[in-house]
Chains A and B, each alone.
Chain A
Amino acid sequence: MKRLLEHDNVVGYVYLSPFILGFLIFTLYPILSSFYYSFTGYNLMESPNWIGLENYRTMFLDDEKLIKSLKVTFTYVFASVPLRLGFALFVALLLYRTVSGAGFYRAAYYLPSLIGGSVAVSIMWIQVFGDQGLVNAMLGLIGIHTSMSWIGNPSTSLGTLIALSVWQFGSSMLIFLAGLKNIPQTYYEAASVDGANRFQRFFKVTIPLLSPIMLFNLIMQTISAFMTFTPAYVITRGEGGPLDTTLLYSLYLFRRAFTFFQMGYASAMAWVMLLIIGLITFILFKTSVYWVHYESKGEK
């Protein structure tokens, strides 16, 4: 009996059991039922009734709001993720040269990413970009007087959400910083001996050695950008306005599911999003062979 309990398979599954249970109940079962719901009409009161591909058909042929929300989401993702990672890399490179006060700077840059997802910061953002807010007050100081609400104006509203996302570049910056510190100094010295100038050292040593970290960050940030919900919900009071310019996909899905109780339709939306994210992740992985450098491969 004791021997059996000590067997690797038993020990392994005993320790793994919380995850297995949770995975089955809170992940696998929901995934399967969500897939089933997506082929049904379901309002939570009555049991789901099968309508085949109707939800998917409606999505792409009859739901202009959905197309609009996809456009908004793609704009948001493709603007905020590269800007965020670009800033993260830029500041990491600045901070990498150890100088006095680096710890303070690091903390200042990191802090926004720590609190950025909170309701408090979304509320702050409303006031910062409001008609009498911080941004307009600052513009007033340099002689540009305006009482435009950046959040209420359809042409700038999404921009404020993108700005909020870019403002949180700190956690990626920390990862890049750690990656930079992991690059052995001898590589740079060797490159210098071979006559490489600063730019060559950057593009031939720093970027290739950092590229695996960049790929990982790019994928994780893209997924979470597609899922952005809280700021859009709080800043627009759950509406996605003005004129649906901030109707991010997750917000629209939430409205369909929990405002109109169209659980089947919202499930179909979730599956389309899953496919889009899966496809983008797949493309990123596939193209990564052209720009991501894996050291172990070179050594073999």
Chain B
Amino acid sequence: MIRNRFRMKQLFYHLVIGFLALAMIYPIVWMAASSLKPNHEIFATAHSLVPSKLEFGNYVSGWKGFGSNSFSVFFKNSFIIVTLSTVGAVVSSAFVAYALARIPFRGRVFWFSCVMMTMMLPHDVTIIPQYVMFTKLGWLSSFKPVIVPHFFGTPFFIFMLMQFIRTIPSELDEAAKIDGCSKYSIFFKIIVPLLVPALVTTCIFSFYWRWDEFIGPLLYLNKPHLYPVSLALKMFLDSDSANNWGGMFAMSTLSLLPVVVVFLFFQRFIVEGISTTGLKS
């Protein structure tokens, strides 16, 4: 009897939470399913997930892109921007995090509060002068404005890596010092190897943010051959290509694929990263 009631409760619980979960991912599944439907069928049978026949032609027509630029150009641009800015952000943030978490130098508290302030600063305040600055430098229509600023430490990553560095016992530093390590090599020989999981997490977050980034490319990359995927997708909405629904759904789905794949492979790192930053505030 009690066992039965327990079972019923479990079932009810799974029904509620399962239905909610389904509702959450349904739009994504719907988009992916629509990308495999023939163009005329997408909205005619919007209530159904099953295409009458699998139409991979959408992926072909979508991939062709716009004018002379196919999606191979846009994906390549995205990969260049994401890779370079991620390397820059992770390496520089690790350096800064080490200084702030481990070295008792004068002005440490001041600089830490600068990091926190930068993290909370609305980008609307800096975006206009930055635009003026990059225009004067002649950096418009190049990848520089969307890559270079990431080589100077990202506040959120600095904060996250600091939390991780603090969990490394400082006795290890002491031991290395006695063995003749300088403070510079302690970073490379002790901290970095132990920080690898956190660095992976940082890379993943950076990958996500840069992959999705929109406003930077929108401002600075104003030639279609420089567009990353995010900006290229927007072109499907512009008037002259506004009825290739299939191609639009196909390329949107494809643009989410790297994100979902990385998520499935590195779930543990992501969950850990979010949990640590949100907790120790």
> Which A residues are in CB contact (< 8 Å) with B184?
11, 14
Categorize the interface residue count of chain A: 35 or more
Nearest B-chain residue to A26, judged by Cβ: B149
B24 is an interface residue with CB less than 8 A from chain A: yes
A148 CB–B CB distance under 8 Å? no
A48 to chain B, nearest CB (A): 10
Kindly provide the distance from the CB of A169 to the nearest chain B CB, expressed in whole angstroms: 9
Q: Say yes or no: A12-B103 contact (C-beta < 8 A), given A18-B151, A37-B128.
A: yes
Let me know if A274 is at the binding interface, CB within 8 A.
yes
A257→B114 contact, CB < 8 A:
no
Q: Are B27 and A8 in contact (CB under 8 A)?
A: no
Instruction: State the Cβ distance, A185 to closest chain B Cβ, in Å.
Output: 18
Interface stretch of the complex, out of A57-65, A74-82, A111-119, A186-194: A111-119
Residue B72, interface by CB 8 Å = no
Q: In the bound complex, do residue A22 and residue B152 qualify as a contact, i.e. CB atoms below 8 Å apart?
A: yes
Contact residues in A for B43 (Cβ distance below 8 Å): 130, 132-133
Judge whether B187 and A137 touch: CB under 8 Å. no
In the assembly, what is the distance between CA of A250 and CA of B128, in Å? 12
Residue of A11, A107, A172 contacting most chain B CB atoms (<10 Å): A11
Asked if B120 contacts A178 (CB within 8 A), the reply is: no
Give the residues from 17 to 60 in chain A that come closer than 8 angstroms, CB to CB, to chain B. 18-23, 25-27, 29-31, 33-34, 37, 44
Inter-chain contact A16/B255, CB cutoff 8 Å: no
Instruction: Name B's interface SS.
Output: helix
Q: Is the CB of A19 within 8 A of B46?
A: no
Is residue B138 contacting chain A, with contact meaning CB distance below 8 A? no
* Closest B residue by C-beta to A132: B43
Interface residues of A (CB under 8 A from B): 5-6, 8-9, 11-16, 18-23, 25-27, 29-31, 33-34, 37, 44, 91, 94-95, 97, 99, 101, 104-112, 114-115, 117-121, 123-128, 130, 132-134, 136-138, 140-141, 167, 171-172, 174-175, 177-179, 182, 212-213, 215-217, 219-220, 223, 226-227, 229-230, 233-234, 237, 249-250, 253-254, 257-258, 263, 266-267, 269-271, 273-274, 277, 281
> Could you tell me which B residues sit within 8 Å of A by CB distance?
10, 13-14, 16-18, 20-22, 24-28, 30-31, 34, 43-44, 46-47, 92, 95-96, 98-100, 103-106, 108, 111, 114-115, 118, 120-133, 135, 149, 151-153, 158, 182-184, 187, 208, 211-212, 214-215, 218-219, 230-231, 233-234, 236-237, 245, 248-249, 252-253, 255-256, 259-260, 263-264, 267, 270-271, 274-276, 278-279, 281
